[in-house]
Amino acid sequence: MKIINFVTVTSKFKYMRLMIAVATLVLSVATVSAGRTYNVASPDGKINVTVNAGKELCWSVDADGVRVLVPSAMSMTLADGDVFGADVKVRKAKENSVRDTFKTPFYKKSEVRNDYNQLTLTCAGGYEVQFRVYDDGAAYRFISDRKKGFTVKDELAEFNFTSDHDAFIPYINDNRGGDKYSYSFESYYDKQPISRMYADSLAITPLLVSLDGGMRVAVMDNAVDDYPGMFLVKDNGKPYGLKGYFAPEITDGHWGGHMKLNYISDTRADHIAKTGGKQTFPWRTVLIARSDMDLLDNDMAQRLAPECVIEDTSWIRPGKVAWDWWNTTNLSGVDFKAGMNTDTYKYFIDFAAANGLEYIIIDCGWSSGKADDWKEESLMICNPDIDLPAIIAHGREKGVGVILWASWAACDAEKSIAFPHYAAMGVKGFKVDFLDRDDQQMIRSMEEIVKCAADNHLLIDLHGMRPTGIQRKYPNVVNFEGVKGLENCKWAAMDGERSVTDFCEYDVTIPYLSLIHISEP
């Protein structure tokens, strides 16, 4: 009978457990170093997103077996030195699927399907990253769960393509007062390979990339709320890469640009946003279209926009307008002197009524656009040749509403006084002009203007701002002026008797390239 040495056996088991623990630790460290990989697919399984969370946070996107994006990094650098998306430690990974529809009373469709699969990574450091995959695209966003407010110094949003694809690039080319971030958001399109993008130029979104086989990929930002909009630049560190670029906060500036209605920065801060701690940041989106027609029919801007916050929308009436500005109120065959006067606008109302147009706009000239015009004691002071109450009364009789032009400067300063006043007079809305920025300060101001207008049952037309979600949240925003319209023919560069710009090509191209960002009637 053999006697077993229990002490020896026990020691061996302790040693084995120790070796297992060490091996497990080494494996764990290696896994963290290499990063953990997650996958999420579209409902139809044709679009796949791969996420790698390690030293950096990256995603790659495949569609129909074609690589759309190679690993592209994302991060947010905070002023306190923390970085969302660096040395990522995932505490929880949650997947969920949504299959539903929502009503869209002021959209090209009465309802929109909202089917997607989603991956949410909860990470150490007080933030989450959501990846959402649809049958026609994919998007991600950061969500902060911090208790205290913080400052975002910068954001990294890469979009790295596989090869030197051709792109339709809407460069900024008409800065206001020399401010690189101040622009009307109306661009022509340069058609060139990604590698030949101008390294010193900003582009606005959407920017369209043409993949082999006819697939189109539009890079967008959606649901921009209390945060700057995203420009795009050539990523000189990647052979075929784009990356986001964001306007910092203005610390000092002056009034400049046309009629000195733009606030032009003199100095800007070293950060792009200040937040309240708990905040959902904008979506970074790649829209994938298998054909050009798919660009026209997509609903991504609606799906990713915030839900409507106006409970009663029955007063919102989108429509067409008779516009005075292009022809500078010139009329022929009339028995009065045409111009910016009461008789001319009554004639515009008669024309609108006869042709089934719901509104007229009285553009710049009834008021100077200066905030002083809207001080409480002088609200009724405008062009002495315009009897505004008489024009509104004539419009009411004919079933035509009156919309007034206004500068952003005046709306920002005096909206709480002016909007209730003009709404009570019978004005139906305002065309707000010369925003021409989308830094965080302007995004905040725009939403305050739009909300105040909604509170007073006023429609809003925004000129100098991109549509990135506000139009669903506040559907009283019925239009964005963000195209090179007919007025641009007035000052188009000429080569002899021929315009340098091919307006016909532009007019049939822009519905595919720019209007995908718009979710309006």
Which positions are annotated as active-site residues? 433, 487
Q: Token match 């910068």: residue?
A: 154
Separation between Cα atoms, residue 180 and residue 202, nearest integer Å? 8
Q: Alpha helices of 202-268 — where are they, by DSSP H?
A: none
Separation between Cα atoms, residue 386 and residue 153, nearest integer Å? 49
- Radius of gyration, CA atoms only, the chain: 27
Handedness of CA 31, 32, 34, 36 (dihedral sign): positive
What residues contact residue 302 under an 8 Å CB cut-off, 6+ apart?
A: 104, 107, 112, 472, 519
User: Per the structure block, which two tokens stand in for 46?
Assistant: 């044709």
Nearest-10 crossing angle of helices 440-455, 408-425: 0
Bin 426: left if φ > 0, else alpha if -120 < ψ < 50, else beta: left
Q: Hey, which residues does 186 pair with through a beta bridge?
A: none
From the list 74, 34, 55, the residue with the least C-alpha distance to 241 is: 74
From the list 196, 189, 209, the residue with the least C-alpha distance to 67 is: 209
Separation between Cα atoms, residue 50 and residue 141, nearest integer Å? 15
User: Per the structure block, which two tokens stand in for 473?
Assistant: 């949240």
Task: Give residue 343's identity as a one-letter amino acid code.
Answer: D
Separation between Cα atoms, residue 228 and residue 242, nearest integer Å? 18
User: Per the structure block, which two tokens stand in for 479?
Assistant: 């239009």
Separation between Cα atoms, residue 219 and residue 129, nearest integer Å? 19
The beta strand positions in 420-496, using DSSP E, are 429-433, 459-463, 477-481, 494-495
What residues contact residue 444 under an 8 Å CB cut-off, 6+ apart?
A: 226
Handedness of CA 411, 264, 205, 507 (dihedral sign): positive
Q: What is the DSSP string of 164-209?
A: --EEEE-B----BTTBTT---S----EEEEGGGS-TT--B-S-EEE
Can you tell me whether residue 519 is helix, strand or coil? coil
